[in-house]
Amino acid sequence: MPTEFRNEPFTDFNKEENAQAMRAALEKVKSELGREYPLVIGGERINTDAKLDSINPANRTQVVGRFQKATKELANRAVESAYETFQTWRNTGAAERAEFLFKSAAILRERKHELSAWMIHEVAKTWAEADGDTAEAIDFLEFYGREMLRYAEGQPLVKLEGEDNRMDYVPLGVVAVIPPWNFPLAIMAGMTAAAFVTGNTVVLKPSSDAPTIAYKFFEVLEEAGLPAGVVNFMTGSGAEVGDVVVDHPKTRFIAFTGSKEIGLRINERAAKVHEGQIWIKRVVAEMGGKDAIIVADDANLDDAATGVVQAAFGFQGQKCSACSRAIIDASVYDEMLEKIAERTEKIKTGDPTDGATNMSAVINEKAFKTINGYIEKGKSEGGRVLAGGGSDGEQGFFIEPTVIADVKPGATIEQEEIFGPVLAIIKADDYDDALKIANDTQYGLTGAVYSADEAKLERARREFHVGNLYLNRKCTGALVGVHPFGGFNMSGTDSKAGGRDYLLLFMQAKVSAEKVGATSKLAEKRAAI
C-alpha cells in the first residue's frame, strides 16, 4: 500500500549543486535537439512523408524536434487500435494499473531536471517554472494512482437483508487526450494518466507547439512497462486529425485543455452521434480565463503588489490562471500603481536557459502578433502604459512584461483573454464595485482578493464566481490535492483536476445485486430430485 500522498518539493536552485545539475541537464538536452520522432500506434513506430517542426520560442532558428503529420487514415487507425487494446486492458486490476503511475513517477523524479530542460527549450519556461511543471506531473501520477486504489475499494451502499449488493466503477473506453502547450508535461501527463489508470485506453494528441515533451513522457510510460496500445502517440494538425479522433464512433470520451474556441468546437462535434456510435460521448473541457485580483482599501499593499506581478507575469502570463486584471480600490489605486510598476521593472527577460531569467519568450509568432495587437488596442481605448510595452521578435518571440493602467470596465483588454504578459489595471469605486467588475466576464476560473477584513473575504467566498478563489495570495500556483483545479462558465466544465472527484469523470458506476442464498437453495432442490 503506498504511503500518504505528499506534494513533490520544488528545487532550490540557490544551492549550487542543484544549479549545476540543471546546467548539466540543459547541455544533455541541447545535444539531442533536432531529432525526429515517430507516431506510435499499437506499439508500432510510424513515419509519414509530411513533417512538422517544434521550434524554440526563444531561439526561432533552433528546431527542438521533428514530428510526423498523421493522416486521417492513421488517426482512424489510432482509435481502432486503442479500442482493440481496451478489450483486454479494461480487465487489468486497479492495483496493477496504479503501479504503472507509481513507476512512471519514480522515473520522472530521477530525471526531473532533464524533463525540465526539455520544457526550457521547447516552450521557453524559466528554470523555476519548468521545475514546478515537472513537480506537478509527478504529483498527478502519485495522486491519481492512490485515487484509483481508493475507488477500487468497496463502495458504501445501504444494506438490504437478503441481498449482496455492490457498486463498481468501470472504464468508459477510448479517450482522446488533447492537452495544451503551456503545461506540456503536467497537464498532459495528468490527463493521460487519469485516462489509463481508470482502465481506459488513450489516443494522445499533443499540441504542435510541445510534442517533444509529450513524446519524452510516452517513453517514460514505455520504460515503466505500460503495454503497447494503451497509450497511442499521434501528432498532426487539429483540423486534420484532431477532428477525426473526436468524431470517431469508437471514441468514448474527450479530455481537452486549451482555448475556449477549440473547447466549444470539440464539445459541439462530440455531441453529434455518428453511424455505429452507441453512447453519448463525454467531454471534459478546461478552457480559458480572465482572472482578476481585487485589492481592497485595507489590503497589505506590498503583499498585494507582489502577488499581482507574480501571477500576471509568471511564464509570460501564459497560464489560464494568470492575473490579467488587477481591480484596485480607488483609495489605494495610485500607490498600488507605483508598487506594481516598480516590481514589474525588476523582471529580467531573456534566455530561459539562464538561471537568472525571470521571464522569456511567448510561445510562437502568432501569439507574438496577437499579444502586441492587444497592447495597441489597450492604448487606443484609453489605457496608459505604465511599464513595458515593447517587443523584439528577431531572435525569439520576446514581449516585455506590460502594465496598462486606467483600463475601463468593458474595454477589450479587460474582457478578452490575451494569454500573454499584459496586465490591465482597473480602478474600482469601492469593494462592491470591485466584485461587480470581477464577475463581469464570461469566464470564471481563478480569482483573488487582498484584504484584512474577514467579512470582505467571506463575502468573496460567496459572491466571487470562480472555481478557484485565493485570499491574500496570488491566483496562480494550484497544488495537486491541495487546490483541485477547474473553473465555471466559459472556463470549462469545472472538472477539478488534482481533486478527489476527477477520476470519476473517466469511469461509470455499475451496480450488481445478488439475492443471497438463492443459488445454494436451487442446488439443494435439484439434488433432492
Residues catalogued as catalytic:
286, 320
How far apart, in whole angstroms, are the C-alpha atoms of residue 230 and residue 221? Answer: 10
3-state SS of the chain: helix, strand, coil percent to 5? Answer: 40, 20, 35
Which residues lie closer than 8 Å to 299 by C-beta, 6 or more apart?
A: 332, 450, 451, 452, 472
Closest to 358 measured CA to CA, from 366, 369, 368, 350 = 350
The residue written with cell numbers 508500432 in the block is 44
The answer to whether residues 289 and 424 touch, using CB atoms and an 8 Å cutoff, is: no
Q: Which residues on adjacent β-strands are paired with residue 36?
A: 66
Take residue 61 and report the three cell numbers written for it: 532558428
Closest to 392 measured CA to CA, from 454, 349, 425, 339 = 349
Closest to 296 measured CA to CA, from 334, 327, 323, 322 = 327
Closest to 321 measured CA to CA, from 117, 131, 497, 122 = 497
DSSP string, 69-83: ---HHHHHHHHHHHH
The residue written with cell numbers 481533486 in the block is 499
Helix (H, G, I), strand (E, B) or coil at 386: strand
Take residue 290 and report the three cell numbers written for it: 480572465
Q: Which residues on adjacent β-strands are paired with residue 325?
A: 292, 424
Four-point Cα dihedral 71, 75, 81, 82, nearest 10: 150
DSSP string, 288-311: ---EEEEE-TTS-HHHHHHHHHHH
Instruction: Identify the H or E element spanning 61.
Output: strand 59-68
